[in-house]
Amino acid sequence: MAGFEIREDFYLNGEKFKIIAGGMHYFRVVPEYWRDRLEKIKALGCNAVETYVAWNMHEAKKGEFNFTGLCDLKRFIETAQELGLYVIVRPSPYICAEWEFGGLPAWLMAEDGMRLRSSYKPFLDAVDSYYRELFKILTPLQITKGGPIIMFQIENEYGAYGEDTEYLKSIRDMMVKYGAEVPMFTSDGPWGDYLACGGIPGVLQTANFGSKGHEQFKILKKRIGENKPLMCTEFWVGWFDAWGDEKHNKGDIEEHVKDLDEILAEGSVSIYMAHGGTNFGFTSGANYYDELKPDVTSYDYDALITEDGELTEKYYAFKKVIEKYVKIPEVKFSSEIKKKAYGKAALTGSVSLRAALPMIAEKHETNSPESMEKLGQNYGYTLYRSELVKDRRIEKFRLMGANDRAKVYLDGKELLTLYDRELLTETKLATAEEKEGFIPLGEGKKRAFAPEGTDLTILMENMGRVNYGYFMEKQRKGIDGAVLINGHQHYKWEEYTLPLDNLDKLSFDADSDLGCGGKTSGPAFYRYEFDADEQGDTFLDMTGFGKGCAFINGFNLGRFWEIGPQKRLYIPGPLVKTGRNEIIIFETEGKALNAVSLCDAPALE
């Protein structure tokens, strides 16, 4: 029988088939490198590639769909087929993946009362509209129609989130309605009641884990019975990094090799990640347990193939295990990728955020401050500005319903920076014993006196929406509640949306006196330029800068933060032009340099 089936085992064209898949997310790799990474996955011994589908990439604005460039899912799947790889697709609509909002589009949060990942009708209607377009791409690429797709996943680790099985059935039914014919599966951690809450009748349950393969499969088998195949859909071979981690997270190769052998002896596997890639732009997510932990820009994940495409010791160790179970084909890599140290890129201009606002920000006026989503913005920064209506000593300051990081200024002078839990509590700024007069906060200084007409500015940064757990429904960014000064609400605000997707409109002549080479006056854009004689992968060293994001030739490379552990941003060669190149850095802490370095290696140790 032709096609792919799930019986007591997996069957491909009537023959038993052991799935050995490598996880790779097309949206984390520039399209020019898809073939290279897929070739390396095939050379590992994989017969399939597994990918999530990121809804927020394909429908960044409600009702507007994008399947081109980095979002060209059809091209990615067809490239895999050309290389002889089958494809497992996870169009969940939620993907987790340490990805912004778990792949859900930010505009969902603009609706009051929105309930995610449940039978809440407005959410299901949004998924239905998305699937109607998505499956126009996926349906013709199924193995039943001559394509390489052999399985679809329903939702993702739902047992760790909720127990609305009617919701899971609704997702399944939508997929069938729009043409899904290949077998479906769910995946959950094999702990507690995750498997019990995450499955529905008639759909294969699989497990996600990173160790103790035999023990985890024993739990899964008890759940699904003896007459179904065992599969680890996410065999975690590394881990992700968060800002503030002491160092880049790395796994134990010997333990991973042992576990891979155990898994393949009993069932099938998808290696998470075979190749991790990069959280370009504002796409990195965050976790929230005891505190907010946003993820770094690199999604290297200590994967078998590094962020920049190098084969690791772990890659070769895994290959030795895999060749015990399948014959590994010879694969000739078709791409020549060079690493280049372009040296220094010199500062050629700068402009303060204050001067840039009329060029790149959309202005709104409201009585109470509104969230980023209510203002029609998904990512980046939102600046709130108002004037104080009377002389006052600001003794207490509080932001209500604010995420994730606030920089507060009075008449352009920095007053304080608040992050995460600091936004949830009242900040005391003054005491009655101190002399009157404005004193910027510093060591031992706790006063802020502001006369009538003082400009109050709050720059809010979205550091990445939480991608896992209950806090997902608390992810409105900017200020969603109120600004309290001395306990009462302050009204009449100007809001400036700063998604930073239009930096071509910047003029770097607006602030000819803006300094550099150390401490500057505050948030600003810095332009650097360098010449390249050929294209090559390079790494932008952010040492000496505080916090912000960087762009090359208009492409958003992602965030940086001096607290590490990531110190350099990966620039794939296709983003470099032969000739003159422009780098723009938006920096919020007043720390910048007169030149930046472009290196030929990352700094992940």
Q: Which residues are catalytic?
A: 157, 234
φ, ψ of residue 109 to 5 degrees: the values are: -80, -5
Q: Which residue has the tokens 């600004």?
A: 483
3-state secondary structure 332-356: CCCCCCCECCCEEEEEEEEEEHHHH
| Residue 14 CA to its chain's centroid (Å) | 39
568-571 and 595-599 beta bridge pairing: unpaired
DSSP 39-105: HHHHHHT-SEEEEE--HHHH-SBTTB---SGGG-HHHHHHHHHHTT-EEEEE--S---TTBGGGG--
Q: Which residue has the tokens 């060209």?
A: 72
Q: Pick the closest to residue 172 from 198, 206, 140 (CA basis).
A: 198
Residue 458's alpha-carbon distances to 379, 413, 493, in angstroms, are: 16, 11, 11
Q: Is 590:581 a contact under the CB 8 Å cutoff?
A: no
**What is residue 544's three-state secondary structure?**
coil
Q: Which residues of 452-473 are buried (b: 16+ CB within 10 A; e: fewer)?
A: eebebbbbbbbbbbbbbeebbe
Peptide bond between residue 404 and the one before it cis (omega within 30 degrees of 0):
yes
231-236 and 204-209 beta bridge pairing: parallel
Q: Which residue has the tokens 């394509």?
A: 147
Q: What is the DSSP letter of 518?
A: E
Handedness of CA 549, 552, 557, 563 (dihedral sign): negative
Q: Is 438:478 a contact under the CB 8 Å cutoff?
A: no
Q: Which residues of 427-437 are buried (b: 16+ CB within 10 A; e: fewer)?
A: bebbeeeeeee
